Structure 1
Amino acid sequence: MRPRAPRAALLALVLTAACTAGALTGCRTGRQPAAAAEAAGAHARPGHDPAFLARGECAGRAAGSFTEVSCRSAEAAARVLARYNGPRSGGPRCPAETDFVLHINALDQGTSEESSAPEGYACMRNLQPPHPGDPGMGGGPLTVTGDCLYAQRDGVVKETACDGSGPRAPEYRVTTEVGARRECPPSTDLYVQVGGGAPVGCARRLS
């Protein structure tokens, strides 16, 4: 239920870095992926709509922080593709075209439940290129079909640009996403846990 009156709450957000900053477990043993993240902050403007960064709304970057702005504003940099309550861990997977994720922790400064905003996360898409979340671009918070990977160390792979423009050359390419490893094609050389409804990425070695 939406609050009946505006509230001035401070919302601290953590920006999940592009996949180039995170590692994924790529192996044949089913170990869980590890991830690293950079941090950035954002504030809700005093008196702003308490439905902070709802689906379809936009955010602008300023001095390392994110603030909700009108999508018609020259400051608008990214649009919310999806917004979920609760922690991202165990929550719904962001859309495949997500460029980055904002984790939202509300620090309630109101006097009632109606002046609070729940913890959640927003799946963001840049309004202008580049789009690191697109297949093969070497970034974004998700690994999707068409992405390329390289082996960082034994059992751990990281995403890189398929066109070779990244710091590391691609060694594998995700050909499909399936619900279980047994559903991968016989030509699969690497299994990558990608989460969501089809949590396994089937990757082939590039010649």
Structure 2
Amino acid sequence: MAGIRRSAGAVSALVLVLVALTAGCLQTAGGPAAAGTPSGSAAASPSAGYGAVFLGRGDCASRARDFGEVPCASERAAARVLARYGGRSSTGPACPAPTDFVLHISEGHSSADEDGDGDVGQGYACMRNLLPPHPGDPGGGGGPHTLVGDCVYTAAEGQVKETACDGSGDHRPEFTVASARAEKAQCPKSTALYVHLGGDMAVGCARRV
């Protein structure tokens, strides 16, 4: 279920934000595959909801010390919800490609809600910044997906993570994902690294920068 509806009153929910800098699984040319790991996280305290669904699709969130739902016309609005799903992001639907970061929402309690049980269901919201930067865009250095046009650096033996292609990140880009293919054998001979992208075109063919 995408969210819990309420009739009136403030909705409080503990929101945990995971800025997903997904690197994915990779394999160097002729080398073993290894799983990449997301990095970067922060916590947010209970917030009040304004819509029928807490941080439902199209709603906006502030980003100061904490994340909270605010009207999109508010000067405090910083990001918009592209999609909202119930359950855990690790087992639920994938966020849209333009997603900059993912908000993980835990169960909370409200003073009033539709069925009176006071619950805001566990779920996650796929967020897009209202203004640049957009780390989820190709080359932006972040987001929950690795895309064609993204750059990566070697984080550990057999493991890469995303970084901004323009060099503005903490790490210098070493490879760029030049194309996507269904199988490794379909990548160009010049491919120096295979990066797991997911989906039907799951193999990213990366070349050295």
Could you tell me which residue of structure 2 aligns to residue 98 of structure 1?
A: 99
Q: Does structure 1 conserve the Cα–Cα contact (< 8 Å) formed by 2:23 and 2:146? A: no
Contact 2:179-2:206 at 8 Å conserved across structures: yes
* Residue in structure 2 matched with residue 177 of structure 1 by the alignment: 180
Q: CA deviation at 1:135?
A: 1.0
Counterpart Cα distance in 1 of 2:78 and 2:128 = 9
Partner in structure 1 of residue 79 of structure 2:
78
Structure 2 unaligned segments of length 5 or more: list them: none
Cα deviation for residue 83 of structure 1 reads 1.0
Instruction: Give 1:185 shift.
Output: 3.7
- The one of 12, 16, 19 equivalent to 1:17 is 19
Change (3 A) 1:177 1:13: farther
Q: Does 1:153 align with 2:156?
A: yes
* TM-score, normalised relative to structure 2: 0.82
Deviations along 1:49-77, one digit per CA (max 9) or x if unpaired, are: 451111111001232x1111111111100
Q: 2:63 matched to 1:69?
A: no
Q: Report the count of equivalent residues.
A: 202
Q: What is the rounded CA distance, in whole Å, between the counterparts of 2:144 and 2:169 in structure 1?
A: 17
Q: How much has 1:127 moved relative to structure 2? A: 0.6
1:4/1:130 Cα in 2 relative to 1: closer, same or farther (>3 Å)?
closer
TM-score normalized by structure 1? 0.83
From 1, 5, 8, the counterpart of 1:6: 8
Alignment match, 1:89: 90
How much is the aligned-residue C-alpha RMSD, in angstroms? 2.6
On the 8 A contact 1:14/1:39 being kept in 2, the answer is: yes
- Tell me which amino acid in the other structure corresponds to 2:46: H
Instruction: Tell me the distance in 1 between the aligned counterparts of 2:125 and 2:201.
Output: 21
Partner amino acid, structure 1, of 2:190:
S
Structure 1 stretches lacking a partner, 5+ long: none
8 Å CA contact 1:105–1:118 kept in 2: the answer is: yes
DSSP-derived class of the 2:171 partner:
coil
Question: Quick check: 1:6–1:49 contact (8 Å CA) kept in 2?
Answer: no
Relative to 1, partners in 2 of residues 1:92 and 1:201: Cα closer, same or farther, differing over 3 Å?
farther
Return the offset for 1:195.
Answer: 3.1
For 1:26, the aligned partner's letter is L
Q: Which residue of 1 aligns with 2:206?
A: 203
Q: Given residue 176 of structure 2, which amino acid in structure 1 is its aligned partner?
A: R
Matching residue of 1:51 = 53
Does structure 2 retain, via aligned residues, the 8 Å contact 1:26–1:155?
A: yes
* % identical aligned pairs: 48
